[in-house]
């Protein structure tokens, strides 16, 4: 693999913009793409604010902040990714959407480019099968919020080449992140453990064992978690929580991974958490208020 200098990011949502941020701050040239020009504009504004926040905390100098932001270019066409050495897909956690994106990259990327997915649960082997070079495909799962969280899960598919894996290790190290390697099983390591805990917290609410406030306070003060599981679910997005639980349930065929009916109802209602202003908490006021 040639040395990675230019990184493409597909998807300018919360994860995509965070990934673009950390690569630019680490000295890489970044091309951030999205089908929505409005989403790209919002992402660039968000990245600028987050870089400024790091400067205010003394994590970056003003010169570094300006240089990092200047390294990021945006585009609505994946053709802009043609010279990238590494391209990371950070679109919706829906297999069909991701496969459509990878199909659109055929004939666009250079032969030596590494193609990665930031998927938090889907099969890397399965996603790689729909690409031109499965040997160049790998899972690089960043944690949210990307600029703050130190962990990156790296997942090899059955066809991932050793060279792709070694190059990915170097890239993760250059971001000052800690890498864990997961086998290619549903939800990998972090979400295999985290999501069933969140799902069980929702069952605990659904069955009337405790209120939203009681459950979150219990886990924060009783288990020393920085956020309660329902608060965390709202932060992640209830649609994403449900999607991961469905991958676990379908992929492992074990009833212990069955998504809680209350989680399904909240998603059906469009109550997806912080991003929609309402989930297990209502975010319309000055202080989040439990909705149950």
Just list the catalytic residues: 120, 141, 153, 191
Q: By CB neighbour count within 10 A (0-12 exposed, 13-18 middle, 19+ buried), where does 183 fall?
A: exposed
Nearest to 171 by CA among 78, 69, 85: 85
Per-residue HEC secondary structure of the chain comes to CCCCCEEEEECCCHHHHHHHHHHHHCCCEEEEECCCHHHHHHHHHHHHHHHHHHHHCCCCCHHHHHHHHHCEEEECCHHHHCCCCEEEECCCCCHHHHHHHHHHCCCCCCCCCEEEECCCCCCHHHHHCCCCCHHHEEEEEECCCCCCCCEEEEECCCCCCHHHHHHHHHHHHHCCCEEEEECCCCCCCHHHHHHHHHHHHHHHHHCCCCCHHHHHHHHHHHCCCCCCHHHHHHHHCHHHHHHHHHHHHHHHCCHHHCCCHHHHHHHHHCCCEHHHCECCEECCCCCCEECC
Task: Give the C-alpha separation, 92 to 258, whole Å.
Answer: 21
Nearest to 257 by CA among 185, 209, 208: 185
Task: Give the C-alpha separation, 118 to 27, whole Å.
Answer: 20
């Amino acid at each position: 693999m040639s040395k990675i200098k230019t990184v493409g990011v597909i998807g300018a949502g919360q994860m995509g913009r965070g990934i673009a941020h950390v690569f630019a701050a680490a000295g890489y040239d970044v091309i951030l793409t999205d089908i929505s020009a409005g989403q790209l504009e919002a992402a660039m504004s968000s990245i600028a604010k987050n870089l400024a926040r790091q400067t205010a905390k003394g994590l970056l100098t003003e010169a570094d902040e300006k240089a990092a932001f200047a390294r990021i270019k945006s585009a609505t066409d994946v053709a802009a990714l043609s010279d990238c050495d590494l391209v990371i897909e950070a679109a919706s956690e829906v297999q069909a959407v991701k496969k459509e994106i990878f199909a659109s990259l055929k004939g666009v990327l250079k032969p030596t480019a590494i193609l990665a997915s930031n998927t938090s649960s889907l099969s890397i082997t399965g996603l790689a099968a729909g690409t031109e070079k499965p040997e160049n495909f790998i899972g690089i799962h960043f944690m949210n919020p990307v600029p703050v969280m130190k962990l990156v899960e790296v997942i090899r598919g059955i066809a991932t080449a050793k060279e792709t894996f070694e190059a990915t290790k170097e890239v993760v190290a250059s971001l000052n992140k800690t890498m864990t390697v997961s086998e290619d099983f549903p939800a990998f390591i972090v979400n295999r453990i985290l999501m069933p805990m969140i799902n069980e917290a929702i069952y605990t609410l659904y069955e009337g064992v405790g209120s939203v406030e009681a459950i979150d306070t219990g886990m924060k003060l009783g288990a020393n978690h920085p956020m309660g599981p329902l608060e965390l679910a709202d932060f992640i997005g209830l649609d994403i929580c449900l999607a991961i639980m469905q991958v676990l349930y379908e992929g492992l065929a074990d009833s212990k991974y069955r998504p809680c009916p209350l989680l399904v109802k909240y998603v059906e209602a469009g109550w997806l958490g912080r991003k929609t202003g309402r989930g297990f908490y209502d975010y319309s006021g000055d202080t989040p208020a439990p909705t149950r």
